[in-house]
Structure 1
Amino acid sequence: MLIDFVGSLATGFGLMGIVLLVNRLILRNRIDRWIYPATVAFGMVAFTIWAEYTWPSRTITAQPQLALASENGEAVFYRPWTFIWPQVTRMTAINLAETRTHPDQPGMVMTQVVFIGRWEPTRGVVVIYDCVNNARADVVEGVAMNADGTLEGAEWFPLDADNPVLRTACAAVEEGNDGRASGA
């Protein structure tokens, strides 16, 4: 948050400096002085809106091991423009560096699902997806993987075939992830 605050201040005062130079050098002081604080305010608001709307792409770009699976937008009354263009506040991604398959169970994918929220700590959970039967099992205490890749003690949850996280995890293995999705 501190970086965004400093960035908005720098944008506001930088824009004011440009307007000041244009007013003094080109326009010969024809614009009233009220333009300077208005320019700072406009620059700060513009930077804040830009930062809020671009953080998902900047976050995923900064972490190339993540494959974006889904985004959740949110509209709030104190940002009326979000009713037209909802703002992404949460994302779900697959950690490609932690995606694996077992040689005896090629239809199953073990991966780390990463939950990223704006102004929230990033969380990750290990999940196994059954790409053939469209199901998910969370790897929690009491779940064990046998030598043949089957699970003991896992609770399987059925998923829709078009579930974005399931599709992203299965596609990551199908594409090969540059050799990362090899047997574990």
Structure 2
Amino acid sequence: MLLEFIAVIALGGGTAGIVMLLQKLTRNALPRWATPTAAGLAMLGFAIWSEYSWFDRTSVALGPDKVAAATIERKQIWRPWTFFAPVTTRFIAVDMGKTQIKDSIVATDLYLMSRWQEGAIVPVAFDCKQGRRADVFKGFTDDLDADLAGASWITLEEGDTILAQACTALD
């Protein structure tokens, strides 16, 4: 967040400097309001680009084994452009490179990513036959049966995209 703030300020200052140089070269042919307007539009444009590109940049940074299975898009009153195209503010990625499989059970990590917040990694197990999930907060060992002993299973809705993505490991 701090780096984006610094980038916005630097972009605004750089744009203002370019417009001031253009004014000097054109002998003040541009109106006086051109400098702050150009700086403001550049900063706003960068902020909008940063919001809409966050999901792509973050999911690529996670690596090819982490597959986004669910996204949460928002329309927010303080960002009026989101009413035309909602912005992705959170997503859940399944670590397909770190799966343990036993019968119809797939154990892996979920990456819970949110804009402006630190991400979280949650070890989970999916029962692909019964359509349910168990959070395994202590993590996984080599003995999946022991890890899941006494686990609290949560029945998921039919068509759950995270379950569907995790269960592709069985194919």
TM-score, length basis structure 1: 0.80
C-alpha contact (below 8 Å) 1:144/1:152 kept by paired residues: no
Aligned to 2:61: 62
Change (3 A) 1:115 1:131: same
The letter for the 2-side match of 1:132 is K
Aligned to 1:110: 107
**5+ unaligned residues in a row in structure 1: which ranges?**
176-184
Once residues 108 and 147 of structure 2 are traced to their aligned partners in structure 1, the CA distance between those partners, rounded to angstroms, is 15
**5+ unaligned residues in a row in structure 2: which ranges?**
none
Once residues 18 and 96 of structure 1 are traced to their aligned partners in structure 2, the CA distance between those partners, rounded to angstroms, is 47
C-alpha contact (below 8 Å) 1:144/1:153 kept by paired residues: no
Change (3 A) 1:40 1:52: same
Aligned to 1:14: 14
Aligned to 1:101: 101
Aligned to 1:36: 35
**Offset at 1:46?**
0.8
Aligned pair count? 169
C-alpha contact (below 8 Å) 1:68/1:92 kept by paired residues: yes
Q: Which moved more, 1:11-20 or 1:162-171?
A: 11-20
Once residues 17 and 42 of structure 1 are traced to their aligned partners in structure 2, the CA distance between those partners, rounded to angstroms, is 14
Aligned to 1:48: 47
Once residues 166 and 40 of structure 1 are traced to their aligned partners in structure 2, the CA distance between those partners, rounded to angstroms, is 46
Which one has a larger percent strand, Structure 1 or Structure 2? 1
Once residues 71 and 100 of structure 2 are traced to their aligned partners in structure 1, the CA distance between those partners, rounded to angstroms, is 24
Question: Secondary structure at 1:165's aligned position in 2?
Answer: helix
**Offset at 1:69?**
0.8
Residues 140-169 of structure 1 show CA distances to partners (whole Å, capped at 9, x for unaligned) of 46x998676893212222223321111111
C-alpha contact (below 8 Å) 2:101/2:170 kept by paired residues: no
**Offset at 1:10?**
2.0
Identity of matched residues, %? 34
Residues 53-109 of structure 1 show CA distances to partners (whole Å, capped at 9, x for unaligned) of 11111001111132101111112211122222112111111123322213xx2x211
TM-score, length basis structure 2: 0.85
Residues 22-55 of structure 1 show CA distances to partners (whole Å, capped at 9, x for unaligned) of 4444x44311222111111111111111111111
Question: Secondary structure at 2:158's aligned position in 1?
Answer: coil
Once residues 15 and 54 of structure 2 are traced to their aligned partners in structure 1, the CA distance between those partners, rounded to angstroms, is 22
Aligned to 2:85: 85
Question: Secondary structure at 1:153's aligned position in 2?
Answer: coil
**Offset at 1:14?**
2.6
The letter for the 2-side match of 1:79 is R
Aligned to 2:162: 165
